Chains A and B, each alone.
Chain A
Amino acid sequence: MEQFLQQIASGLANGAIYACVALALVMIYVSTDHINFAQGEMAMFSTYISWQLMSWGMSFWVAFVLTVLISFAMGVLIERLILRPLHNAPVLSIIVVFIGLLAIFNSMAGAFWSYLIKEFPSPFPKAEFGIAGVIGPHQLGVVLITLIVLGLLFVFFRYTPLGLAMRAAAQNPQSARLVGVRVDWMLALGWGLAASVGAVAGIMVAHIVYLEPNMMGGILLYAFASALVGGISNPAGAVAGGFIVGILENMVAYGGNQLEKATGIYIIGNGEKLTVALIIVIFVLTVKPAGLFGRVVVKRV
């Protein structure tokens, strides 16, 4: 039973990370209809920035805040400089540009900081955090930080004029423009926010998976699965999807483990995590593309 609870707790911690990256994906998808394949690598790059700041002697939280701000600027710049001119380009070109960004961020991180695996510190004190035997200090901290970030975002989008303007720009660009919302800048801000949320996810997960240029590959795949399960057009759904997929992932591995113990037959375990995500992605896409909470897209022919 204790092991079962442990699995749920670690599923929640992973889910929190997936929720952040999925939310970043959805923020860009809702406003531009693009799926940002470079989201994971951007988060990885931000994590390296925070590592660099810390190695220059900053404390964890100062580096954390600075990194989030730098990532924000990075996201805004990418939107303004690279994606803005391609506003009316075909889907294919956009995807190619995202893959280009992915390759650039990945190889630049390797070039600046080498491909060697680095340890990344956890900011959470061992003594005061965690419930012994069930959830570790870092896991609990990750869930808390994620919930704070999600709460802040919710307040921002729900109660501030800028948040309202951003939602308007995403939902109905033409009308928003008519009432004086600068839609182009709202999209750039959305990119900035997405990059910041991704950076938070990267910094939180780096302690668990260690810092290296390919660390976000699997996480991005799980974030895709989360966004799809929750409905890629629904931010709250993406967050819920993140936690669902996080727990599901651990349950599948746990179940496979128990099965192996009981019958001696290995079917599924930790080594098949990405395969599980692939199956979730393809299953949701073909069977229920709107996800659990998403809007069903009706296409006019």
Chain B
Amino acid sequence: MAASSKKWVLGAIVLAVLVPLLQPVFPDVVSNYRLFLISTMIIASIAVLGLNLLTGFNGQFSLGHGAFYAVGAYTAAILMDKLNVPYWATIPAAAIVCFIVGYLFGLPALKLEGHYLALATFALALAVPQILKYKWLEGLTGGVQGIVLMKPEVPFGLPLSEDQWLYYFCLVVMIVLFWGAANMLNSRSGRAMMAIRDQYMAADTMGIDTALYKTVTFGISAAYTGIAGALSASAIAFVAPDSFGIFLSIKFLIGLVVGGMGSLLGSVLGGIFYVLVDNSAQSLTQFIRNDLGLPFDLSAYTVFGVLLIAIIYLMPMGIAGGLFMAYRKLRGARA
């Protein structure tokens, strides 16, 4: 990482740490609701990062990452609900469970590429809600009703609100995970992952154990997305099968494509983006209904769908890639 970008990252982290402390100063701008919204954005970025590790950096396609998110969320929820495990301890547990599930799914995925891998993962995404409702699992998963949980409590008597604490907790997890991903990508293993994406045959010939790298990447990617799922279970304090359908996986895909494939910064932007659109769609619908008088319920997915297609046409590298290109052009023009 270049020195200048390190400075930027540090600056962003300091800013992120300071934001909740401004709450007494600007209670209307930094409301508890906004902090909670930012927490969901952080969770979304972690999930998108997981998908990015697999698709952006390793070239394996997945339309079914919602499945790993669901496994993470349910692992956390079941541990908290049945075994009274504290919420912070569910994060590593979810990571381990999802790594194993992802690794196992990566084994048959080794034989598939391109459209076929997309098809298999798409099928997985469609089947997840039904698998969660399976009768034998009902005792654990609570069936259609799902599981209701408690929100994380503020520890050590810190003078923070629940939403402030949740924000800090998510932020710490995110920083650790992004730091880990950046280091992994910058290592021998990361270069092997990207070599497999760019030139599979050459990587194989150079002695990279492609099967091992692909399955382990699948596991790590699933673990990242699963951690996001576990965090969301704590944050929302509720899990139910029907919130893990195909459209959840489509949201991750949106984050990936909009943010930029193969970019860490892009994962953050993508996560922020899809939460923002998801949240503003409702007010947009009200605007269309009440102010324009059209009998039309705009859903976030119309925006998502149009954007997916538009970005493939206009900015194939996503927002992060587009910004980078624009920046380079501007500097090039000046020099």
Contacts and interface: CB of A to CB of B under 8 A. Distances in A.
A266 B123 contact: no
A119 interface: no
B298 A274 contact: no
Contacts of A95: 61, 63, 115, 118
A278 interface: yes
Interface residues of A, number: 50
A111 B302 contact: yes
Contacts of B304: 100, 103, 107
A285 B302 contact: no
Interface in B107-133: 108, 111-112, 114-116, 118-120, 122-124, 126-127, 130-131, 133
Contact of B123 (A82, A93, A224): A224
A271 B130 contact: yes
Given A278-B126, A285-B119, A99 B297 contact: no
Given A108-B302, A285-B119, A277 B127 contact: yes
Interface residues of B, number: 46
Contact of B133 (A271, A278, A282): A271
A103 B302 contact: yes
Contact of B308 (A100, A218, A281): A100
A155 interface: no
B298 A100 contact: no
B312 A93 contact: yes
B138 to A, nearest CB: 10
Contacts of B298: 107, 111
Interface string A11-45: 00000000000000000000001110100000000
A96 interface: yes
Contacts of A272: 130, 134
Contacts of B63: 37, 95, 99
B301 A106 contact: yes
Contacts of A277: 123, 127
A171 B264 CA distance: 42
A89 interface: yes
Interface in A79-121: 82, 85-86, 89, 91-93, 95-97, 99-108, 110-112, 114
A217 interface: yes
Contacts of A101: 305, 309
B299 to A, nearest CB: 4
Contacts of A285: 108, 111-112, 116, 119-120
Interface in B48-95: 55, 61, 63
A219 to B, nearest CB: 10
A301 interface: yes
B126 to A, nearest CB: 5
Contacts of A207: none
Given A221-B127, A278-B124, A286-B108, A100 B115 contact: no
A289 B116 contact: yes
Contacts of A282: 108, 120, 123
A132 to B, nearest CB: 33
B250 interface: yes
Nearest to A281: B123
Contact of A91 (B114, B126, B134, B299): B114
A275 B134 contact: yes
Contacts of A112: 296
Among A91, A101, A225, which residue has the most Cβ atoms of chain B within 10 A? A91
A259 to B, nearest CB: 13
B3 interface: no
A48 B106 CA distance: 38
Contact of B253 (A96, A266, A271, A278): A96
A111 B119 CA distance: 27
A35 B115 CA distance: 7
B301 A104 contact: yes
A97 B116 contact: no
Lowest 10 A-B CB distances belong to which pairs?
A100-B308, A104-B305, A103-B305, A107-B301, A107-B299, A278-B127, A274-B127, A103-B301, A100-B309, A107-B302
Given A97-B312, A111-B299, A274-B126, 17 more contacts: A33-B115, A37-B63, A86-B313, A89-B312, A96-B308, A100-B307, A100-B308, A101-B305, A101-B309, A102-B250, A103-B247, A107-B298, A217-B246, A220-B126, A269-B135, A272-B130, A281-B119
